[in-house]
Structure 1
Amino acid sequence: MLADGFHDVPPGKVATVVTHLEMTAQAAPRPVPEPESITLDRVATPDLDWYRDLFQRVGGQDWLWFSRLNMNDAELSAILNAPEVELYALMAGDHSAGLVELDFRDRDTCELAFFGVTPDLIGAGAGRFMMNHAIARAWSRPIRRFTVHTCTLDSPAALPFYRRSGFVPIRQQVEIADDPRLTGKLPRDSGRHIPIFD
C-alpha cells in the first residue's frame, strides 16, 4: 500500500493509474447507427504479426499500449489461441480498424482484455457499435461479472466511455513498468502526452 504523498518514478519507467471496472448484469445496448461498410468479424486463429500491427495501430502510437508487445510469440499465441479467448476485428472492407478481445479464462467472469479503434474511427460510433456486440457476446455465456480496466496511458475518453456503457469503477492501482519507448517496443514519439525520463 502506497503512503500518502509523492513517489518518485525511476528513470526509464512509466507510471500509470489503473482503474478497474465491472458490470454485474447485462447493460442495455446504447443506440448507434449500424456503421456502413463495417463489420465485426471473429478471428479464430490470428496471425501474430497481424495482431501486433492492429494492437499498435489502435493503442501503440497515441496511447502507449505495450503489454502484448513485451510477449514472445509462444506467450502471445497461448493467449490468443486459448479456447476461452475470443478475438474480433472491426473490418472496414479488407482493412482491420478495431479490436475486441474477450477473455473467459477466469470462471464466472469475462474480461474485456483489449478494446479500441484506430484514430480515424474515433467519434464515428464504431466504439459503441463494438461495445454493444462485446456486451451481448460476454453475457451470452453464464458469467457473473464482465470486467475491464483502463489507465492514464489510455485515451482520456476511455473511462467515461466505459461508464456510459454500463461499467462501474471498483478499484484503482498504480502500475510502474519499463518505458516501451526506451526498450524499443514503441517509437520514441509514441504517447506524446507522457514524458520520457531516460
Structure 2
Amino acid sequence: MTLAAGFHDVPPGHVPTVVTHLEMTARPAPLPAAGTWPFRLVEQPDLGWYRDLYRRIGTEYLWAARLQWSDATLRARLHDPAVEVWTLRAGDADEGLAELDFGSEGECEVRMFGVTAALVGTAAARSLMTHALVRAWSRPGLRRVWLHTCTLDHPKALAFYIRSGFVPFRYQVEIMPDPRLDGTLPEDAAPGVPVIRRPP
C-alpha cells in the first residue's frame, strides 16, 4: 500500500523511520586502502558475545530486533552455514560487525553492519565494508549484494553506502514499537529521537 501525501499519525509507543534499500549488481572498483584493521571470522558465535557487540554498536540507533529474539531464533540465524559473521578488531576487542547472508542463490545480504562509537570517523567502517565486499564478491556466481539503512542510523550512513557502490532501489516507511519503552534498550538511548508515549 502506498501512503497518500500528507501527515500521518504515529501510534503511541512507536517510532517512525524511512528505510532505504540499496544494491550493487557488479563488483565495485577497489576502494583506497583504509588502514590496517584486522578482521576475524567468528564461527558459531556465542550469543552473549554477539548481543554485547550488537548493543555497543547499535543502542544509539535503536537496534533492538536481535535483542528481542529468543536464544533459539538467534542461534539459528548466527549458526546458519549460509551466514558469515565478521568483526573488525581494535586492540584485543571486537569493535565492528559485518553479517553476510548468502542464503539466497546468487545474492548476499549485508544484514548487519556497523562499528562502535569510538571508531566512527576513523575509516574503520570503510575498511570493514571493503573487506565485506571482497568476501561477498569472491563467491562464485554472485550477482547482487544488498542492504538497507534507515533514518535512525548514523546521519552519514546512506551517503557512506552510496560511496561504497550501492544504489538505492526502494524506499519504505517503517513504524516500529519503541524499544526504550519495553526495557529492551535504556530510556536514554537515541536522545535525538522523540519518545511517543502511550497516553496515561
TM-score (norm 1): 0.96
Q: Percent same amino acid at aligned positions? A: 55
Give the SS at the match of 1:180.
coil
Cα distance, 1:34 vs structure 2: 2.5
Give the SS at the match of 1:9.
coil
Alpha-carbon distance in structure 2 between the residues aligned to 1:178 and 1:118 = 24
| CA offset digits 1:6-29 (Å, max 9, x no partner) | 110000001110000000001122
| CA offset digits 1:30-79 (Å, max 9, x no partner) | 213423xx31100001111110110111111x111112112111111101
Alpha-carbon distance in structure 1 between the residues aligned to 2:142 and 2:78 = 20
Confirm whether residue 113 of structure 1 aligns to residue 111 of structure 2.
yes
Cα distance, 1:149 vs structure 2: 0.3
Alpha-carbon distance in structure 2 between the residues aligned to 1:6 and 1:53 = 37
Cα distance, 1:94 vs structure 2: 2.0
Equivalent position of 2:164 in the other structure: 165
> Does the 8 Å CA contact 1:32/1:125 hold for their aligned counterparts?
no
**How large is the RMSD of aligned CA atoms in angstroms?**
0.9
Alpha-carbon distance in structure 2 between the residues aligned to 1:33 and 1:20 = 25
- How many residues in Structure 1 have an aligned counterpart in Structure 2? 195
* Unpaired segments ≥5 residues, structure 1: none
Give the SS at the match of 2:98.
strand
Equivalent position of 1:15 in the other structure: 16
Equivalent position of 1:28 in the other structure: 29
TM-score (norm 2): 0.95
Equivalent position of 1:51 in the other structure: 50
Cα distance, 1:92 vs structure 2: 1.6
Q: Which runs of 4+ in 1 moved over 4 A?
A: none
Give the SS at the match of 2:158.
helix
